[in-house]
A = this chain, B = another copy of it.
Amino acid sequence: MCYLIVKSMARRTYAQHCGLARALDVVGERWTLLVVRELLLAPRRYGDLLAELPGITTNLLAKRLAELEKEGLVEKVERARPTGGVVYRLTEGGAALEPAIMELARWGGRYLVGGPRRGDRLDVGWGLLSMKRRYLGGITLEAGIVVGEREFHLSFTPTGLVVHEAPARPAEVIVTTDAKGLLAWLFSNGDPKALRREGVLSVSGEEESWRTLLRAFAPRPLPPPLLVPARPT
């Protein structure tokens, strides 16, 4: 008897003719969806991703990017940034993961209500994605958010919101704050107007646009946290 040992085994698969199983075959491995999340706001360089995904190791990031590229979800693009070099960008197929990522994040949001746990990393970009989830629709507005060195541009249309990490201007209203201020805006049920009065948020541009902006977001949903049975068994 003679067996041919195939090098480079085919990837592990659930072998089920089901959309969920097939999706998990492609993006179900560790770190994969987090890489896609990082690319939702803008194309990124390898080093950007390494810095924004604390805990991932360089070999694993390289592997995940190669897999995503092979699946046609991510493509390498030359010097899309002023600094040159190559960036990784979502293809249409990769960007189509956004609804699934948003629903997973909405579900996971109930674990965030207690605030960050010890050792948890925070990132301004993640906050912007959570803003996107909470957009109620119904307004038309170009807005910018400046958080420290990072800038985001938000294009509101009545049916959706496109967020890019890109120059905040031109925009009808610009909100400037720092990371802590953004989190206060997002995660506190406090009035953004109060945060502005306290100087945590600084607003420039049209006052009317600022008021429009505030109307567009649902208040923090505050779902009841999951009850973990207290049996210490």
In the assembled complex, how far is the CB of residue A229 from the closest CB belonging to chain B, in whole angstroms?
Answer: 6
- Tell me how many residues of A have a C-beta within 8 Å of chain B: 58
Chain B residues with CB under 8 A of A129: 18, 20
In the assembled complex, how far is the CB of residue A41 from the closest CB belonging to chain B, in whole angstroms?
Answer: 13
In the assembled complex, how far is the CB of residue A149 from the closest CB belonging to chain B, in whole angstroms?
Answer: 20
Stretch at the interface among A82-90, A104-112, A155-163: A104-112
**Nearest chain B residue, comparing its CB with the CB of A29:** B30
List A117-142 residues whose CB lies under 8 Å from chain B.
117, 119-123, 126, 129-130, 133
Q: Residue A34 at the B interface, CB < 8 A?
A: yes
B103 touches A107 (CB 8 A): no
Q: Residue A8 at the B interface, CB < 8 A?
A: no
Q: Residue A148 at the B interface, CB < 8 A?
A: no
Q: Residue A26 at the B interface, CB < 8 A?
A: yes
A interface with B by C-beta (< 8 Å) = 14-26, 28, 30, 33-34, 37, 54-55, 69-73, 93, 96-97, 99-112, 115-117, 119-123, 126, 129-130, 133, 226-229
